[in-house]
Structures are given as C-alpha cells and as structure tokens.
Amino acid sequence: MAVSIITSMSALPAIFPNVMANRGTLIVKITDAPVELSNLFLTIDDIGVQDESGDWTSLTLVSSGDEGLRFDLLEFESTTMDAATGELEAGEYNSIRMSVKEASARLIDSEIDVPLRVPSEKIKVVVQFTIEKGEDTTVILDIQVDSTEMSIAIANNAEHNLRPVVTATVIDP
C-alpha cells in the first residue's frame, strides 16, 4: 500500500498575501504490494505529519465518513489512492503517522473477516521531505504485509498484529 502526500498553493496568496506566502499543500496517497489475502480492510481516522521541531499537524482525510477513511488496501495493488491533503508551512518534515481505527483481513476462499490489532493503533513512517512555498510535494507510502505469517496466525485462531513494512517515496515539486 502506498500513501502519497502532495503540497500546493491555491488562490489564497492573492487573498491573504502575508499569511499564505510561506505555505504549501500536502496530499497523501495509498498503494499496495501483492499479498495472498482476498481483502485487507483498514480504517484510518487521522494522518499527520511531524515538522523538524517535533510538532504534529493533522491533514484532512479524503472521502472520509464519520468513522474515518475505510478502504481495502488490496484494491491499490497497481495504483494509488488519495488518502489526505493539507496546507503546511514551508520547511522540513520528518515523519508521517497514520492512526488506524480498525483493521481486518480475509483469507482467499473465505467469507470471514478476521480482526487485526495494530500495536499502539498507529503506523509511523520516518521520511524526510521538504514543503516549498507555492509548490506541491507528493509522498507515496507503500504498505506491505507478510500475508504468509498472517494466514498461519488466522488459520490457527491466533491473535495477529498488523505490523506492515512501509516504504516512502517522495516526489519533489
């Protein structure tokens, strides 16, 4: 699964030249690597970025309902999904954090969704990127899970933690 983050400027600098002159917009997209599951559902209720001073800023989730942004990660095996966007101060950023409200998996040839635990209910990705004023920056997060380990745990009725490996790709303006 990959998450993209894009930064851009709108017409706001013309309206608020002093306030908006040093801002950009961030968009988060999600994609997935192939796994041996029929579904891997995630519900994300927050995506935030950390600046170089350690402060976190939440982005606006794309197409989220009251319960958060729910999607089947496996639908994004060869494409990306916009997950979040937000205007940020120009500068250096070093982390992206997704708050996972709920996760479940379904094995191939099964109709049962098995709940998954996400330790700390967060997936944090260390990634260095720069927001430049008036520019768009995209960060794609490719989320990969060990489906063999997950399938064995599910088949044995064992509790399984979702601990994906996340690879970040920054697309500069």
pLDDT digits (tens, 9 = 90+) for 72-83: 988 888 889 999
Structural domain total, the chain: 1
- Give the whole-angstrom CA distance, residue 23 versus residue 89: 4
C-alpha atoms less than 13 angstroms from C-alpha of 165 in its C-beta half-sphere:
6
Q: Which residues contact 105 (CB under 8 A, 6 or more apart)?
A: 37, 39, 40, 41, 113, 114, 116, 150, 154, 160, 162
Question: If you search the block for the tokens 């709920």, which residue do you land on?
Answer: 102
User: Which range marks the domain in which residue 108 is found?
Assistant: 12-171
pLDDT value of position 19: 53
Q: Is residue 1 part of a domain?
A: no
- Give the whole-angstrom CA distance, residue 21 versus residue 25: 12
Q: Is residue 151 part of a domain?
A: yes
Q: Is residue 133 part of a domain?
A: yes
Q: Is residue 110 part of a domain?
A: yes
pLDDT tens by residue, 90-105: 999 999 999 999 999 8
pLDDT value of position 1: 43
pLDDT value of position 88: 96
What pTM was estimated for this model as a whole? 0.77
pLDDT tens by residue, 27-45: 888 876 666 788 889 999 9
Strands in 12-158 per DSSP E: 23-32, 39-51, 56-58, 60-61, 69-72, 81-89, 91-106, 114-115, 122-131, 136-144
- Give the whole-angstrom CA distance, residue 83 versus residue 2: 10
Q: Is residue 83 part of a domain?
A: yes
Q: How many CB atoms lie within 10 A of CB 169?
A: 15
Q: Is residue 163 part of a domain?
A: yes
Q: Is residue 5 part of a domain?
A: no
